[in-house]
């Protein structure tokens, strides 16, 4: 008589593993359970239009054709993103496009995208780019027009315009509808409420005056 006990145990385990791997990636930093509502679910993104009402203009946008204001922050850069509002057809497709304008000697400071990998194509200018992995190894490359570079998901990375006379222009594709962006300088020195002085002093080996000066320079 064949032993049917093992298949009976393995089949539920296989099904359980498949179910456990079926969750979609989150589109927000967190999703707190609303214990007071009887609503069965909350959209992880945006509600969908009746497919019969879709038209070609839902799948196109000119938002990336307009240069951004690189003088709006102390770093000298601007990022323009597509989203489900300015490009409705991108909803649920798991992607975002970005236009990156960088002033002469401007910098997109070290930052990370917790929900997306990124590939950047330099259209004009001369950029120094790089990312740091979890062993603190730096991968850096100088890009010229036509060059591309990949930033792995969640890795701290930066883009620096080496040209002191001319701006740089790049476009990026990100593998999430809502990639998120956490700039290291702002995440450390411009939080609300502020991280206490002792934490910043010990973390960066600086003085209280240094903390105040950095916050002031960042617009705080």
Cβ-based burial of 113 (10 A; exposed 0-12, middle 13-18, buried ≥19) = buried
With bands split at pLDDT 50, 70 and 90, how would you rate the model's confidence at 92? Answer: confident
Residue of 167 and 50 predicted with greater confidence: 167
Nearest residue to 151 (alpha-carbon basis) of 77, 98, 92? 98
The Cα 90–Cα 44 span in angstroms is: 14
- The mean predicted confidence, pLDDT, of the chain is 89
The Cα 14–Cα 11 span in angstroms is: 5
With bands split at pLDDT 50, 70 and 90, how would you rate the model's confidence at 25? Answer: confident
Give the pLDDT confidence score for residue 11 in this predicted structure.
Answer: 58
Residue of 136 and 34 predicted with greater confidence: 136
Query: Region 76-91: what's the mean pLDDT?
Result: 94
Fold topology of 58-180? Jelly Rolls (2.60.120)
Whether the pLDDT of residue 9 is over 90: the answer is no
Whether the pLDDT of residue 168 is over 80: the answer is yes
Phi and psi at residue 209, to the nearest 5°: -65, -35
The Cα 216–Cα 190 span in angstroms is: 10
DSSP state of 205: T
The Cα 52–Cα 71 span in angstroms is: 43
Whether the pLDDT of residue 21 is over 60: the answer is no
> Where are the CATH 2.60.120.10 domain residues in the chain?
58-180
């Amino acid at each position: 008589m064949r032993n049917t006990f093992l298949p009976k145990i393995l089949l539920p385990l296989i099904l359980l593993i498949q179910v456990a791997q079926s969750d979609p990636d989150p589109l927000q930093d967190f999703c707190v359970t609303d214990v007071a509502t009887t609503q069965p679910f909350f959209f992880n993104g945006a509600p969908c239009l009746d497919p019969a009402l879709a038209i070609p203009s839902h799948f196109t946008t000119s938002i990336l054709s307009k240069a951004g204001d690189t003088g709006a922050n102390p770093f000298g850069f601007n990022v323009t993103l597509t989203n489900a509002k300015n490009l409705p057809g991108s909803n649920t497709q798991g992607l975002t496009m970005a236009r990156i304008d960088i002033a002469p000697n401007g910098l997109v400071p070290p930052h990370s995208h917790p929900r997306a990998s990124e590939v950047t194509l330099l259209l004009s200018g001369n950029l120094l780019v790089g990312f740091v992995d979890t062993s603190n190894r730096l991968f850096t490359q100088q890009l010229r027009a036509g060059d591309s570079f990949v930033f792995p998901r969640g890795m701290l990375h930066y883009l620096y315009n080496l040209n002191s006379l001319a701006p740089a222009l790049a476009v990026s594709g990100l593998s999430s509808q809502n990639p998120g962006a956490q700039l290291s300088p702002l995440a450390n020195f411009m939080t609300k409420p502020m991280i206490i002085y002792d934490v910043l002093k010990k973390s960066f080996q600086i003085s209280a005056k240094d903390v105040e000066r950095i916050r002031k320079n960042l617009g705080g």
